[in-house]
Structure 1
Amino acid sequence: MSFQAYLDNIEDKTGFTPRELLAQASAKGLDQPSTKAGEIVDWLKADHDLGRGHAMALVHILTKGPTISEKHVGTDGVHRDESVDLWLDGKATKPAQA
């Protein structure tokens, strides 16, 4: 599954866009450099019933921002992403890929 597909699945499961979940994390003080990944994972499990894999996708965005490595961009296979820039504002508003 691509990184973007993880984010889209998170939206399906929780009803919140990734950006909305990031705002929730910020409101809880979980966007601090000292915050451990486990704290974020525990919150996402308790409040949104997300598993570790999906939670770690949000941990990545909280700690590293919405840009991913070029490793899988443009490659073949199930982990292929269209861009290094992740869309955080929901599937309904995602621009079509060229």
Structure 2
Amino acid sequence: MSYQAYLNTIKQKTGKGPADFRTMAEDKGFTKNGELVVKAGDVTNWLKADFGLGHGHAMAIYALLKGIKNEDSE
């Protein structure tokens, strides 16, 4: 599955896109000035609990928040 396919599936399931997750992570204190300040487990646990995402999809959002991937990544 491509990274874009992960983002598309997440958007279909949650109604949220990358910008939404960045905003929510900042609001939760997971990021400061766009930099991730928590561990991957904190992010994945949040996404699994609040949005019902599986581990792979939660890690896709983690990669987005960490700056490893972005909306244009394949």
Paired AA for residue 4 in structure 1: Q
Q: CA deviation at 1:37?
A: 0.3
Counterpart amino acid of residue 3 in structure 1: Y
What is the aligned partner in structure 1 of residue 20 from structure 2? Answer: 20
1:34 deviates by 3.2
Matched letter for residue 13 of structure 2: K
Distance 1:51 1:26 in 2: 21
| Aligned mates of 2:57, 2:2 — CA distance in 1 | 11
Structure (1/2) with the larger helix percentage = 2
Partners of 2:57 and 2:42 in 1: how far apart? 14
2:54 is matched with 51
- The runs of 5 or more residues in structure 1 that have no matched partner are 68-84, 87-98
More strand by share: 2
One-letter amino acid of the structure 1 residue matched with residue 59 of structure 2: M
| 1:7 corresponding residue in structure 2 | 7
Instruction: Provide TM-score, normalisation by structure 1.
Output: 0.64
Cα RMSD (Å): 1.6
Aligned to 1:36: 39
